[in-house]
Amino acid sequence: MDRMKNIFAGSWGIIGVGVVIGILAPLLQKLGNPGNMGVCVACFERDIAGALGLHRADIVQYIRPEIIGFVLGSLVAAYLFKEFRPRLGSAPIVRFFLGVFAMIGALVFLGCPWRAALRLAGGDGNAILGLLGLVSGIWIGTLFLKGGYNLGRTQKTHTAAGWMLPLFMAGLLVLMLLFPQIAGEAKNGVLFYSLRGPGSMHAPLLISLGVGLLIGFLAQRSRFCTMGAIRDFVLFRQTHLLSGFVALIVTAWVVNFLLGQFKPGFEGQPVAHTMHLWNFLGMALSGLAFCLAGGCPGRQLFLSGEGDGDAAVFVMGMIAGAGIAHNFGLASSPAGVGPYGIPAVIIGFGVCLFIGFTMRQKIA
Amino acid sequence: MAKTIDARGLSCPQPVLMTLDGIKAGNDDELIVLVDSDASKENVSRAATSKGWTLADIREESGVYRIAIRKG
Per-residue model confidence as pLDDT tens digits over B18-71 = 999 999 998 889 999 999 999 999 999 999 999 999 999 999 998 899 999 999
Please count the structural domains in chain B.
Answer: 1
Cβ pair A153:B38 closer than 8 A: no
For the stretch A43-87, pLDDT in tens is: 999 999 999 999 999 999 999 999 999 999 999 999 999 999 999
Are B10 and A150 within 8 A, CB to CB? yes
CATH number at residue B37: 3.30.110.40
Angstroms from A223 CA to nearest CA on chain B: 7
DSSP helix/strand/coil, A340 = coil
Q: State the maximum Cα–Cα separation within chain A, in Å, rounded to a whole number.
A: 59
Long-range contacts, A330-333 (Cβ 8 Å, 24+): A330/A104, A330/A107, A330/A108, A331/A46, A331/A57, A331/A104, A331/A107, A331/A108, A331/A110, A332/A107, A332/A108, A332/A109, A332/A110, A332/A273, A332/A275, A332/A278, A332/A282, A333/A273
* Identity at A173, one-letter amino acid code: L
Q: Mutation test of the interface with chain B: which of A4, A155, A232, A233, choosing the one with the most B Cβ atoms within 10 A?
A: A232
User: What is the amino acid identity at position A294?
Assistant: G
Instruction: Indicate the domain borders of chain A.
Output: 2-358
Chain A residues whose C-beta sits inside 8 Å of any chain B C-beta: 2, 6, 9, 81, 83, 85, 87, 90, 145-146, 150, 153-156, 223, 228, 231-232, 235-236, 238, 240, 294-295, 308, 310, 363
Alpha-carbon distance A339 to A220, whole Å? 38
> pLDDT tens digits for A149-165?
999 999 999 999 999 99
For residue B35, the distance in angstroms to the closest alpha carbon of chain A comes to: 11
Per the DSSP assignment, residues forming a β-bridge with B54 are: B70
Q: What pLDDT, on a 0 to 100 scale, did the predictor assign at position B46? A: 93
In this model, does residue A235 exceed pLDDT 70? yes
- In one-letter notation, the amino acid at residue A185 is E
Contact A270, A14 (CB under 8 A): no
Q: Which helix (H) or strand (E) holds B14?
A: helix B14-25
Maximum Cα–Cα distance for chain B, whole Å?
31
Q: What angle do CA A296, A314, A101 make, to 5 degrees?
A: 80
Q: What is the pTM of this model?
A: 0.97
What mean pLDDT, rounded, does chain A reach? 96
Average pLDDT, integer, range A171-184: 97
pLDDT band at A362; cut points 50, 70, 90: low
Select from A106, A122, A147 the least CA-distant residue to A289: A106
Q: Which residues of B touch A83 (CB under 8 A)?
A: 37-38
From chain A, pick out residues whose CB is under 8 angstroms from the CB of B69: none
Residues 6 or more apart from A254 whose CB is under 8 A from it? A22
B12 — pLDDT class (breaks 50, 70, 90): confident
Q: Which residues of B touch A362 (CB under 8 A)?
A: none
| Domain enclosing residue B64, as ranges | 3-71
**Measured distance CA(A155)–CA(A174) in Å, rounded:** 31
Q: What is the pLDDT of residues A87-144, one digit of tens each?
A: 999 999 999 999 999 999 999 999 999 999 999 999 999 999 999 999 999 999 999 9
Cβ-Cβ contacts under 8 Å, A238 against chain B: 46-47, 50
Per-residue confidence (pLDDT) for residue A3, from 0 to 100: 45
Contact call for residues A60 and A53 (beta carbons, < 8 A): no
Q: What is the band of A259 on the pLDDT scale with cuts at 50, 70, 90?
A: very high
On the CB side of A349, CA atoms within 13 Å amount to 15
**Distance (Å) from the C-alpha of residue A225 to the closest C-alpha of chain B?**
11
pLDDT value for A363: 61
If DSSP codes are grouped into helix, strand and coil, which group holds residue A109? helix
Share of chain A above pLDDT 90, in %: 96
Nearest CA in chain A to B63: A85
* Residue A291 pLDDT exceeds 70: yes
Q: What is the pLDDT of residues A309-325, one digit of tens each?
A: 999 999 999 999 999 99
pLDDT over 70, % of chain A: 98
Per-residue confidence (pLDDT) for residue A8, from 0 to 100: 86
Burial A182-211 (b: 16+ CB within 10 A, else e): eeeeeeeeebbbbeebbbbbbbebebbbbb
Average pLDDT over residues A166-184: 98
Rg of chain B, C-alpha, whole Å: 11
What's the Cα-to-Cα distance from A14 to each of A6, A80, A304, rounded to whole Å? 11, 19, 20
Enumerate the residues of chain A whose CB falls inside 8 A of the CB of residue B43. 223
Q: How far is CA B62 from the centre of its chain?
A: 17
The answer to whether A96 and A316 have CB atoms below 8 angstroms apart is yes
Q: Are the beta carbons of B14 and A238 separated by less than 8 Å? A: no
CA of residue A341 relative to chain centroid, distance: 20
Which residue from A238, A295, A310 is facing B50, i.e. has the nearest CB? A238
Count chain A–chain B contacts defined by CB atoms under 8 A: 57
At B69, give phi and psi (nearest 5°). -120, 145
pLDDT band at B72, cuts 50/70/90?
confident
User: A364 pLDDT exceeds 70?
Assistant: no
Looking at chain B, which residue has its C-alpha nearest residue A236?
A: B47
Residues A188-217: tens digit of each pLDDT: 999 999 999 999 999 999 999 999 999 999
**Cβ-nearest to A363 among B10, B38, B63:** B10
In Å, how far is A317's CA from the nearest CA of chain B? 19
**Set of chain B residues whose Cβ sits within 8 Å of the Cβ of A308:** 11
